[in-house]
């Protein structure tokens, strides 16, 4: 299953909730993404079938190793894009965060790698 932008957002939200609270609950993900509970429940079912999460009704949501890798990849893309927007282009952090969330799903690996290398170069030019 190729992850859609929405499914990547769910994985990212689950990861953030788990990092913050030790586990993610449907209500946490719902509130973070601003969606309705049935949307989260449907997404969890699809992510579970694809092997990204484990979830039993009325219990926490757990990322599988596959889900953790995917969530970390999305978080990394988001961080690099947000950092580029704020540090290089001077975009205010709130706007940069919103824009990075949209861009993280469409940016190519090549572009992301170049941005990452550029950011590394301007913050640590001796290397």
pLDDT above 90 for 22: no
The pLDDT confidence band at residue 59, using thresholds 50, 70 and 90, is confident
CATH says 72-123 is which class?
Answer: mainly alpha
User: In angstroms, how far is CA 73 from the centroid of its own chain?
Assistant: 7
Distances in Å between the alpha carbon of 56 and those of 25, 41, 77, 97? 10, 10, 29, 31
The CATH fold assigned to 5-69 is Arc Repressor Mutant, subunit A (1.10.10)
Q: How many CB atoms are closer than 10 A to CB 11?
A: 27
pLDDT band at 127 (very low <50, low <70, confident <90, very high): low
Based on DSSP, count helices (H) and strands (E) in the chain, helices before strands. Answer: 6, 2
Among 87, 86, 75, CA closest to 112: 75
| Residue ranges matching CATH 1.10.60.10 in the chain | 72-123
What is the pLDDT, as a whole number, of residue 49?
96
* Longest CA span, the chain: 52
Global confidence as pTM: 0.86
Q: How far is CA 15 from CA 65, 70, 92, 123, in A?
A: 12, 10, 25, 28
């Amino acid at each position: 299953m190729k992850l859609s932008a929405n499914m990547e957002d769910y994985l990212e939200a689950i990861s953030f909730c788990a990092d913050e609270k030790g586990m993610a609950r449907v209500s946490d993900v719902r509130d973070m993404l601003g969606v309705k509970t049935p949307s989260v429940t449907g997404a969890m079912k699809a992510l579970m079938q694809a092997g990204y999460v484990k979830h039993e009704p009325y219990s926490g949501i757990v990322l599988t190793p596959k889900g953790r890798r995917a969530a970390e990849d999305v978080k990394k893309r988001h961080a690099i894009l947000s950092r580029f927007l704020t540090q290089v282009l001077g975009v205010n952090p709130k706007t940069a965060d919103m824009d990075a969330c949209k861009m993280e799903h469409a940016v190519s690996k090549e572009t992301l790698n170049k941005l990452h290398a550029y950011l590394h170069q301007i913050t640590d030019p001796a290397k």
